[in-house]
Amino acid sequence: MSLDPSRLAPMANAIRALSMDAVQAANSGHPGMPMGMADVATVLWSKYLKFDPSAPDWADRDRFVLSAGHGSMLIYSLLHLSGYASPTIDDIRNFRQIGSPCAGHPENFLIDGVECTTGPLGQGVAMAVGMAVAERQLNANFGNDIVNHRTWAIAGDGCLMEGINHEAIGLAGHLKLGGLIVLWDDNNITIDGTADLSTSENVEARHQAAGWHTVRCDGHDQADISRAIEEAMADPRPSLVACKTIIGKGAPNKQGTSATHGAPLGAEEISAARDVLGWEHAPFVVPADITADWHATGERGKAEHAAWKTRLDASAHKAEFADRMAGVSAGAGAAIEDHIRGLAAEPKTVATRKASEMALGPLTEKLPHLIGGSADLTGSNNTKTPSTSPFSADDYSGRYMYYGIREFGMAAAMNGMMLHGGVVPYGGTFLIFSDYCRNAIRLSALQETGVVYVMTHDSIGLGEDGPTHQPVEQVMSLRLIPNLNVYRPCDTIETAECWALALQTSSTPSILALSRQNLPQLRGEGDEAWTSDVNRSAKGAYRISAAKAARKVVLIATGSEVALAVEVAAQLEEKGIGADVVSMPCAELFDAQDASYRSDVLGGADVLKVSIEAGTTLGWERYTGTEGLNIGLNRFGASAPAGDLFAKFGFTADAIVPQIVSKLEG
């Protein structure tokens, strides 16, 4: 399609009109950014972006990320105008209303053309980095004929101010991700007012220092925009295109001010904007000739898609590529079966972080989809295996990411990798640092991405590093996040089972909370209920040992405290007090079981329920009841060897048994 300004200008104005009309109808939203970036987006869509509106999931499409997600009407307008099935014009009319997929911020699970959920500023760019990583890794394995596309992101001043942006661009520059191009909406406006109220940094110099190529353009001159994009595409480095724009472009009295950022323009200003833009059409009406021009933007992509399918059909790698894009959920259980049988036959007393490494051995060997990594804690997280060579600018075929000290950036990049498809990422750090990347973990859950977070050093059991590094509230607080499975396995077999479960839930992210200290293997061929073909962790909690005397107590524990619960039960049995021990590796999966199973595991009102977990007790009453006993840690830890800390804070059988006896007698 020709870059004829006489045709492109009305196309851009269609974005402006839909954006201001939708925000006005909702009486809520952000019209300024889409109005300001309409020209840039029109040039990108009409000449450079590779997409097929009839196949939003085409594997070799370009990825487009609206990092400045508050300007969601930009992407809704683009998708509708260019011919995607969703959103419809009625969806746009109902912007931000119940039932409309046009939510306040773009949600990937509502509209197929939305690649990722954005809104928390900076994370869109970081997810785009992950998408660019996935593209390079797949390209290295399958070649240009099957995988060869770009990742584009539109970012605002807020995206580039957020701390995660520093992490993301540092990683992208180091990896020389030349297929990544960020279009910066350089309008010098934030919600509070002009950007110079809060920043005076040289954004381009910062990107250059991180190894990026930068170029400037007039964001309202189509020819200049095209020049800058072509320069970015020709450079082997990731690129920042600084598009100098006017926020709210076209609104004569409010453009260039923060008044257009996060509020409707108002009927009077919209009327004036229509006059300025020469837009004589009623709200939500786009003339047929402009619609036809927009629909034509997808024709190039449709042709490229057809040619790609021909190449794929002729490729010897067609089946392998389809398997990669399908993910690992179907094969994860089988990949680890032999490993579990081996553990049952030859028990191992190791830390669960080591048990995780042992499980990852066969998983990474048999599942080429898996890409591991760590935020500079590889030797502590035990996330690297012989099958995972480094992913680097010199070798994009590698399957191990050295993220550096970038926990938040790592988590967001993994979201982008998973959303891209073809790779399944897992990444490690200490559990305490889950707080650094918590908002990306939340977006994993919201976006329904099956990312796996390997979080080691899960309690005071890490010892001498002290309370700054000892998680107390993290496990329970992570359990608050919807659609997130938090696993805290007790031994080698549970760890392997939890890995299988994590990889089988492709729409639910997982946390593996793993110990630093060695733990005994509690299950195996000597286990009276042992069977190699049942994943006992799959129901979230199960009876790991049954009472011998008449049952009066049910001990519910997780992780390292399960072995402690077994010791407590043994002492209670010596006193004639029957005690079941329940291991609860995943509360979320247990809560999903039917009432009869939960009642069978926990017992009725005739037994004392006792929780044992080396963390905050808040929340355990949902299982123990108000009359139960909760053994935990409702304070910060201390610096000392692990054994001394467990003794100091009462995590010993000798300290717990008297409390249970007293409760029973009281």
Q: Catalytic residue numbers?
A: 407
Q: Per residue, what are the HEC states of 331-358?
A: CHHHHHHHHHHHHHHCCCCEEHHHHHHH
β-pairing, 578-583 vs 542-545, is: antiparallel
- Summary count for the chain: helices (H), strands (E): 27, 20
**What are the tokens at 240?**
């920042």
Q: How many CB atoms lie within 10 A of CB 283?
A: 14
What is d(CA 127, CA 418) in angstroms, rounded to the nearest whole number?
9
**3-class DSSP assignment, residue 193:** strand
Structure tokens at 561: 């405290």
Q: Which residues pair with 519 in a beta bridge?
A: 350
**In 49-99, at which residue ranges do the beta strands (DSSP E only) sit?**
63-66
Q: Is 467 exposed, middle or buried, given 0-12, 13-18 or 19+ CB atoms closer than 10 A?
A: middle
Q: How far apart are the first and last CA of the chain?
A: 83
**Which residue type occupies 570?**
A
3-state SS, one letter per residue, for 6-42 = HHHHHHHHHHHHHHHHHHHHHCCCCCHHHHHCHHHHH
Q: Which of 646, 634, 654, 569 is nearest to 608 (CA)?
A: 569
The string of DSSP codes covering 364-429 is HHH-TTEEEEESS-HHHHT---TT-PBPBTTBTT--EEE--S-HHHHHHHHHHHHHH-S-EEEEEE
> Are residues 460 and 470 in contact, defined by beta-carbon separation less than 8 angstroms?
yes
Q: Which residues contact 234 (CB under 8 A, 6 or more apart)?
A: none
